[in-house]
Amino acid sequence: MNKSPMDYLPLFFDLKGQQCLIVGGGDVAYRKADLLVRAGAKLRVVSPEICDALNKLVEAVSGEYYQKRYDSTLLADMTLVISATDDVDINQQVSIDARVNGLPVNVVDNAGLSNFIVPAIVDRSPIMIAVSSGGKSPILVRLLRGKIESMIPATYGLLCDLVGRYRDQVKSRFSSIEQRRSFWEIVLQGPISEMVFAGKDEKAEDMLKEAIASSDDNASGVGEVYLVGGGPGDPDLLTFKALRLMQQADVVVYDRLVSTGVVDLCRRDAERIYVGKARSNHAVPQEEINDLLVRLANAGKRVLRLKGGDPFIFGRGGEEIEQLMVQGIPFQVVPGITSASGCAAYAGIPLTHRDYAQSVRFVTGHLKDDSCNLPWHEMVSGHQTIVIYMGLITFELICENLISHGMDSEMPVALVEKGTLPEQRVVTGTLSTISSIAEKAEIKPPALVIVGEVVKLREKLNWYGAT
């Protein structure tokens, strides 16, 4: 097959103990020198002047510093050369001399004078990812590198070290290449790697040993549950961890409050199970959801339990993992942006403010048997913001109670409908007017109520969707 030609061949260079020459003494020279040192090279720097950082680095690694202009005698015994000066003639001379001596040379920002380029790197040693545009667009490379950085957990290196230590053992344990491949695929995408990502290296190692030793040649026995906060609606508000788990789960069990944009980011071929609840109309009772998670995990699945906002804020996350804990099923909890933070930010209402509110209180408006069992006296004390979740139905009752317990009937109130989504609507009023304003505007769930002086700030700070 005819493949398209490559401008460069990416290679990884072992520089441990090798002498490398840096020509130049400024910031750029320092950054290149730092890279070389990280790769274990011995440093030689030549430049009439040297910046502090580079000087310190040379001293710290007992490198050589020649305080003079470059000349070709300095190339003796070198393995690699980088020229980082702003003097065109010197750069050119270094390039010519290095080539004559058969040395790899890089002149910073000058591909024409170089025979190798230094790529942008994502360092998860021993995993190393190099990105390059062959000098055509450094900004594009930076953006791409940012994307890769965000996709790969910082602990990937640890995972690689761990599995590297057991490579030989696995080789002798499984005779066929297919078995080994499938073993590693399961380990690298399942609970063992998740343990490493969660910082539980020892547990991960124990599990790996057990998986190697277990006679069924299969590490997939029990699956895992990821209890993930999907945030208030805008998919861009997901955490990196949430996204990663969403893209590896086999089954997604999700609620009504998880926005379509967020569900769409789950792995395409993952099975989707909707267990949405509407108020007083529990589509799937909580106990059944708990059982479902256990059943799926016991069948070896990686189960994503995806919830709106944060799973530990009015999300029943605690109840769901309690049962997993009892059954010994591995799980992890990923926090999400709770709707109070999301709605407040996108409505231009800071929840605290030095002049208006020193504390914020999250309460549920879902009153049991419609009785008023909220701590009204505490709620009416000054300098706080109250955020009411699930408060749309009982909203009028809540306003009345706040007034009758002593809150100023002129206290500003905001209602945020479908917060953080393009359809977001916000209406504001006071404790005495907001009910009729909301009714006229036909505000529908999901909606969040914010009560407090901070609501006034919206006049100045409204930014989202403002025209």
Q: Please report how close the Cβ of residue 197 comes to ligand SAH at its closest, in angstroms.
A: 23
Q: Which is nearer to ligand SAH, 190 or 342 (CB)?
A: 342
- Measured between alpha carbons, how far is 296 from 122 in angstroms, rounded to an integer? 36
Parallel, antiparallel, or unpaired: how do β-strands 251-254 and 447-451 relate? unpaired
Q: Please report how close the Cβ of residue 125 comes to ligand SAH at its closest, in angstroms.
A: 37
List residues binding ligand SAH (CB under 6 A).
Answer: 232-233, 257, 307-310, 313-315, 338-339, 343, 389-390, 416, 418-420, 445-448
SS3 90: helix
Helix axes 286-298, 317-327, angle to 10 degrees: 40
- The DSSP symbol for 3 reads P
What are phi and psi for residue 253, nearest 5 degrees?
Answer: -110, 110
Q: Which is nearer to ligand SAH, 213 or 278 (CB)?
A: 278
Q: Please report how close the Cβ of residue 338 comes to ligand SAH at its closest, in angstroms.
A: 3
Q: Please report how close the Cβ of residue 230 comes to ligand SAH at its closest, in angstroms.
A: 9
User: Any idea of the CA torsion for 432, 443, 281, 309, to the nearest 10 degrees?
Assistant: -100
SS3 321: helix
Q: Which helix (H) or strand (E) holds 282?
A: strand 281-282
Q: Which is nearer to ligand SAH, 144 or 393 (CB)?
A: 393
Contact criterion met (CB below 8 Å) for 282 and 311: no
Q: Which alpha helices (DSSP H) does 152-223 contain, by range?
A: 156-165, 167-173, 177-189, 191-197, 201-213
Q: How far is CA 125 from CA 156, 164, 165, in A?
A: 8, 12, 14
- Measured between alpha carbons, how far is 204 from 408 in angstroms, rounded to an integer? 56
- Measured between alpha carbons, how far is 374 from 396 in angstroms, rounded to an integer? 14
Contact criterion met (CB below 8 Å) for 91 and 24: no
Residue of minimal Cβ distance to ligand SAH: 309
Q: Please report how close the Cβ of residue 448 comes to ligand SAH at its closest, in angstroms.
A: 4
- Measured between alpha carbons, how far is 206 from 191 in angstroms, rounded to an integer? 12
Q: Which two tokens stand for residue 411?
A: 């206290």
Q: Please report how close the Cβ of residue 390 comes to ligand SAH at its closest, in angstroms.
A: 4
Q: Which is nearer to ligand SAH, 449 or 457 (CB)?
A: 449
List 231's β-bridge partners, or say none. 309
Q: Which two tokens stand for residue 110?
A: 């000058």
Q: Which is nearer to ligand SAH, 119 or 445 (CB)?
A: 445
CA neighbor of 445 nearest in space, from 464, 419, 409: 419
Q: Which is nearer to ligand SAH, 24 or 315 (CB)?
A: 315
* Positions marked catalytic: 255, 277
Q: Please report how close the Cβ of residue 292 comes to ligand SAH at its closest, in angstroms.
A: 19
Q: Which is nearer to ligand SAH, 136 or 444 (CB)?
A: 444
Q: Which is nearer to ligand SAH, 230 or 412 (CB)?
A: 230
What residue type is 131 in one-letter code?
A: V
Q: Please report how close the Cβ of residue 229 comes to ligand SAH at its closest, in angstroms.
A: 7
**Which residues are within 8 A (CB) of 118 and not within 5 positions of it... i.e. 6 or more apart?**
32, 35, 82, 106
- The DSSP symbol for 4 reads P
